[in-house]
Amino acid sequence: MSKHTPVLQAETPDAALLRRIGADGGDGRSVPDAATRETIGHAPVQSVAELDQAVARARTAQPAWEGLGHAERSRLLLAAADAVEENAEALARLLSREQGKPLNGPNARFEVGACAAWLRTAASTVLDTEVLLDDETGHAELSYRAIGVVGAIGPWNWPLMITIWQVAAALRMGNTAVVKPSEYTTLSVLALLAVLNDVLPPDVLIGVSGDRELGSRLSSHPHVGKVMFTGSTATGRRIVESSAQNLARLTLELGGNDAGIVLPSADPAAIAQDLFWGAFINTGQTCAALKRLYVHDSLYDAVVDALAAVAAAMPMGNGLDEDAVLGPLQNRAQFDIVAGLVDDARRQGARIVTGGAPASDLGELFYPVTLVADIADGTPLVDEEQFGPALPIIRYSEVDDAVRSANGLDVGLGASVWGDRDEARAVAARIQAGTVWINSHGGVHPMIPFGGVKSSGYGLEFGVEGLKSVAVPQVVNG
């Protein structure tokens, strides 16, 4: 047992996983527990040459994997889902320690459960050949073929679920995949890949551990035909530039700044809990979280009060604490962004309803749920992506103004409208976002396509559209 890994001495289920991926020794980059900042293990630091070898191995393995056919690949993906479930508690605990999210609430156990669900859906979704023409003039069909090697580059907020989103459909369609996890959440992803590789043939799914240099090489690699990228808009732009070299197809799930609009017909008490989780799921570190809330003047105070009451009842703490449903920020850089945006809003005269200063008693990177009222568009907390537990609540009196505000930024991942369903649907049709939820925010489903518009990226994941996005169309004419 390494002196660097004191937590392992407890022989928790995640300790075995860490040993299995070789992260329990002293080699590699030290990985802190997000809550306690103690070292939990060491992540390998791989070179560009090792990445190139991984791509070569995946490329060699691809034809045989494609040759297995849909039925056999689906069977293996279903077995992979079972393997995730068998290791669910170990994965959830490791995720909780490395990422920071609590085991309970819509957090670590929920995330691992979603991995199994998405694998099963990718395994069972049918993508039929389309008959385009079948008459006296001829016959033509459109079908979807594997691309080859898919590069998957992910962020640190939902590292397991997003990895599965990126690779499940890709594998189903007969591609092999090379995964480059975020340097902040490498161990959880490597552990997930180890579990999946219990049932998958060798080299179908390979993880490489390293920083942006490896991501950059993966996205520009001449033998990568598709890049699934989830992360910031700034990195997404670099990946688009890289794709000029290899002409890789891209799916870009980028940053967001989702608006929610509460109409006069809404019932503040009835929506408060769902508004809260729409904004604060994963302690606000969620791409399609509610990041700015526009509330009609007639119920502004009631909504602020109802949200504050919900916030007061939600325990924050170390992720392994079974009572906690909110955790720390994952890393110092994100903590500083959130704290800085709140401090700036306060200086500009906004009202801090609850929170507003680090929860240092809980640990270094804990910041409490913070509701910021009497704030306007143009304030950085409204206009920039906070990606953390601070929600600006903006007052409006004309729905047209709220719609204009919602559309006023250059991102468009999600949005939500709250109130009478018919009224809300009419407003939704005017909003520029990949998904507009009615009376909820941020829920995703493995059969419902998900993706952004504007600077939130392009391409769709999930469902039949998700399978098409990791395939190349082929027409057979004649």
- Give residues in contact with ligand NAD (CB under 6 A): 153-157, 162, 180, 182-183, 211-212, 215-216, 219, 230-232, 235, 238-239, 253-256, 287, 385, 387, 413, 452
DSSP 8-state symbol, 199:
T
362 or 413: CB nearest ligand NAD: 413
- 115 is a catalytic site residue: no
Structure token pair of residue 305: 């009060």
Closest distance to ligand NAD from the beta carbon of 110 (Å): 15
Residue 167 or 263 having the CB closest to ligand NAD: 167
Task: Give the shortest CB-78-to-ligand NAD separation in angstroms.
Answer: 25
Task: Count Cβ atoms below 10 Å from residue 168 Cβ, excluding itself.
Answer: 29
Q: Give the Cα separation of 239 and 218 in Å (integer).
A: 10
> Which ranges in 223-365 belong to alpha helices (H)?
233-246, 268-280, 300-312, 332-347
User: Pick the catalytic residue: 253, 384, 423, 465?
Assistant: 253
13 burial (CB, 10 Å; 0-12 / 13-18 / 19+) is middle
Smallest gap from Cβ 459 to ligand NAD, in A, equals 10
Residue ranges of E strands in 311-413 = 351-354, 370-373, 390-396, 411-412
Question: Does 364 qualify as catalytic in the annotation?
Answer: no
Residue nearest to ligand NAD (CB): 215
Q: Which is nearer to ligand NAD, 182 or 283 (CB)?
A: 182
- Minimum distance, C-beta of residue 213 to ligand NAD, in the bound complex (Å): 8
Q: Which one is catalytic: 66, 115, 183, 287?
A: 287
Q: How far is CA 240 from the centre of its chain?
A: 20
Please report how close the Cβ of residue 25 comes to ligand NAD at its closest, in angstroms: 23
Whether 188 contacts 91, CB under 8 Å: yes
Q: Tokens for 166, please give them.
A: 């990126």
The CA distance from 109 to 114, in Å, is 9
Which residue lies nearer to ligand NAD by CB, 213 or 400?
A: 213
d(CA 182, CA 179): 10
Listed residue (288, 285, 294, 370) closest to 328, CA to CA:
285
DSSP count for the chain of H helices, then E strands? 16, 19
Closest to ligand NAD by CB, 50 or 141: 50
Cβ-based nearer residue to ligand NAD, 154 or 363: 154
Secondary structure of residue 230 in the 3-state scheme: strand
- Order of strands across the sheet that contains 414-418: 351-354, 370-373, 390-396, 290-296, 258-262, 414-418, 435-438
For residue 347 the two structure tokens come to: 């200086």
The nearest distance, CB 264 to ligand NAD, in angstroms, is: 30
Q: In this structure, are residues 129 and 143 in contact, taking their beta carbons and an 8 Å threshold?
A: yes
Sequence-separated (6 or more) residues with CB below 8 Å from residue 452: 252, 253, 254, 256, 411, 412, 413, 414, 433, 434, 458
Q: Which residue has the tokens 């994941």?
A: 461
Judged by beta carbon, residue 55 or residue 306, the one nearer ligand NAD is 55
| Shortest CB 240 distance to ligand NAD, Å | 10
When the beta carbons of 8 and 153 are compared against ligand NAD, the nearer one is 153
Nearest approach in angstroms of CB 229 to ligand NAD is 7
Catalytic positions: 253, 287
